[in-house]
Each structure stands twice: as C-alpha cells, then as structure tokens.
Amino acid sequence: MTHNPSGKLTNSDFELAALLVGANILAVLTQLHHSHIWCGSDNTLTVSWCTKGSTSSKGPNAFLLRWLATLT
C-alpha cells in the first residue's frame, strides 16, 4: 500500500501531467495556432479539468492547466 501523508499530489495530478506532456510534444512537432486538439484520458477529474479549463484549487493541477492553456 502506498502512503501520501501530506496529500500534495494525487493520481489525477499525474494523469493531467501526462496529458500535458503529450500535448506539449504535439505542440513542438506541429503548429497548433488556431487548432483544436483532442486529448483523452480515463481519469474523470483530468477530463473534467480539461473540459472546464479550470479547477477549484490552487494546487499543482491549476498550474498544469495554465500551462496547457498556453499551448494553443
């Protein structure tokens, strides 16, 4: 069993980071200006955050969503 005593990072944060890395690689390899990209995930929170483009916390997921917004 794994332990996360401070609770700073969750599995959903890592899922969002993985999605962001994939989108960043796509942005480096192609021109995304005025383009739409479709990113899929089996993580409900990650999909929700990306669909809304926001989160209700100030944690790592908010930072990652800001970074995702700068790619397009």
Q: Phi, psi (5° rounding) for residue 18?
A: -65, -40
Tell me how far CA of residue 48 lies from CA of 23, 30, 68, in angstroms.
Answer: 16, 26, 14
Question: E strand or H helix at 41, and its extent?
Answer: none
pLDDT of residue 4: 65
Whole-prediction pTM value? Answer: 0.76
Task: Average pLDDT across each block of 10 residues of the chain; the chain has 72 residues. List them in order.
Answer: 71 89 87 78 86 81 85 66
